[in-house]
Homo-oligomer: A and B are copies of this chain.
Amino acid sequence: MNTFGQKFRVSIFGESHGQGIGVVMDGVPAGITLSVQDFTEDILRRKSGAKGTTPRIEDDKPEILSGIFGGKTTGAPLAILFRNHNTKSSDYEIFKEMPRPGHADFVAGVKWHNFNDPRGGGHFSGRLTLPLVAAGVVAKKITDEFVITAKLVELGGETDREKWPEMIDEAVREGDSWGGIVECSAECVAQGLGEPFFDSAESLLSHAVFSIPGVRGIEFGDGFAAARMKGSEHNDPLVSETGETGKNGAGGVNGGLTNGNPIVFRVAFKPTSSIRKAQQTYDFSTGSMGCIEIPGRHDVCFALRTPVVVEAVTAIVLADLSLRSSGDTVK
Assembly CA distance A272 to B230 (angstroms): 8
Are the CB atoms of A112 and B217 closer together than 8 Å?
no
Q: Nearest CB to that of A158 among chain B residues?
A: B228
Are the CB atoms of B76 and A116 closer together than 8 Å?
yes
Say if the beta carbon of A136 comes within 8 Å of chain B: no
Are the CB atoms of B216 and A226 closer together than 8 Å?
yes
Say if the beta carbon of A108 comes within 8 Å of chain B: yes
Are the CB atoms of B282 and A240 closer together than 8 Å?
yes
Chain B residues with CB under 8 Å of A233's CB are 271
Are the CB atoms of B227 and A179 closer together than 8 Å?
yes
Are the CB atoms of A112 and B287 closer together than 8 Å?
no
Q: Nearest CB to that of A123 among chain B residues?
A: B76
Chain B residues with CB under 8 Å of A66's CB are 13-15, 18-22, 123
Chain B residues with CB under 8 Å of A324's CB are 7
Q: How far is the CB of A37 from chain B (nearest CB, A)?
A: 17
Assembly CA distance A280 to B246 (angstroms): 10
Are the CB atoms of A74 and B12 closer together than 8 Å?
no
Chain B residues with CB under 8 Å of A181's CB are 224, 227
Q: Nearest CB to that of A219 among chain B residues?
A: B217
Say if the beta carbon of A52 comes within 8 Å of chain B: no
22 of the cross-chain contacts (CB-CB < 8 Å) are: A2-B26, A12-B197, A14-B79, A15-B67, A19-B63, A22-B66, A30-B329, A73-B115, A73-B330, A74-B115, A74-B122, A75-B115, A111-B328, A112-B328, A156-B229, A177-B231, A216-B251, A237-B282, A239-B282, A241-B284, A246-B280, A326-B327
